[in-house]
Amino acid sequence: MVGRQIAEMGRFLVNDRAAPVALVTGSTSGIGAAVARRLAADGMRVVVNSVSSVGAGQALAAELDGHYVQADISVDGEGARLVAETVERFGRVDVLVNNAGTTVRIDHADLDAATPEIFRRLYDVNVVGAWQVTVAAMPHLRASGDGCVVNVSSLAGIRPAGSSIPYAVSKAALNHLTLLLANTVGPAVRVNAVAPGLVDTPWTAEWHDIRAGSRRWRPYAGPASRTTSPKSCSPPCGRSTRPARCGPSTAASACADPASITCRSAGSRSRSPRLRAAAGLPVAARRG
C-alpha cells in the first residue's frame, strides 16, 4: 500500500519544466540515501552530501547521475558553499531535504553526561546546520516557483524518547523552526517536517537495547509524522522501521501535493480530523 502511495505521489514531483533539482544533506546512507534514490527515480537531479563517507557519496551520485558535494553544514560558510556548488552544477534548487543530523547516546537519567559541549555539538548540526543551508537555498527555492523544504526530525522531538536528551531537544527545536519558517516563507516555499521513530540504519545497527525498549513507545505508536503516509514513519506496534519505507514515503511525498501535507504550514493545512490528530494538531478545523 505504501509503495502505491509513493508511486502516486511521485507523479506530482516532475512537471513540464526542466528537471527539478533536489539537495539532500547527509545522504550517503540510511534515510538520506533512500530519499535521494526516490527523488531521482521521480526524475529529479539530486545532489548528495556528507561530511565523511566520500567514496559512498560519490558512488551514490554516480548511480543517480547526480552530483556529490562534501561539506560540514555545522561549519560557518559550508552550507552556503554546498548550495553554491549545487547551483553551479545544475543552475537551480527546487527541493531541500535537511536530513543531516547527529546524536550521542546518553541515558536520560544520566544528567551529568549531557554536557553543554554535547548540547552545542548536536545543535550545531541538527538545528544551526539546517538553518544555514535553508537560508542559503531560500532565494533559489523562491525562484523555483514550487520550492519545498523538508526537515527530517524525529519522534524524539515530539515524545519523551530518543537516544539522549540533547538529541531530543534539538529535534524539538527543529520542529518549531519548521513551523516558524512555514509561516514566514509560505506559501511561496512550502516547509514541512517528518518525524520518524527508530529507523534501522548503519548508525543504529548496534542499538539493540533501544530497539528492544521501543515497546515503551507503544502508547505513542499511532501516526507520528507530519506528512502523508505517517504510519511508515512511526514504529508500528513497538517495532523499528526501515529507510526504504520511511524516507521515500515521507520526504518525497512532502514535496508532492500541498493538499496532502498535514504539517501546519502557510498555505497548506489539512482539515482531516484524523490526520490533524495524528500530527498532534488541534482537531477542530481552522478557518481562513
Task: State the pTM of this model.
Answer: 0.74
Dist CA 80 CA 33 (whole Å): 22
Q: Which fold has domain 2-278?
A: Rossmann fold (3.40.50)
46 by DSSP, 3-state: which? strand
Mean pLDDT of 44-65: 96
**Are residues 233 and 225 in contact, defined by beta-carbon separation less than 8 angstroms?**
yes
Average pLDDT over the chain, rounded to whole?
75
State pLDDT tens for residues 221-276.
333 333 323 233 333 333 434 444 455 544 454 455 544 343 443 333 333 343 33
Mean pLDDT of 152-179: 93
207 by DSSP, 3-state: which? coil
Residue 21 has pLDDT above 50, yes or no: yes
* Cell triple for 180: 516558524
Q: What pLDDT, on a 0 to 100 scale, did the predictor assign at position 163? A: 87
82: closest CA among 49, 52, 55? 49
Q: What pLDDT, on a 0 to 100 scale, did the predictor assign at position 280? A: 40
| Residues annotated catalytic, as ranges | 167
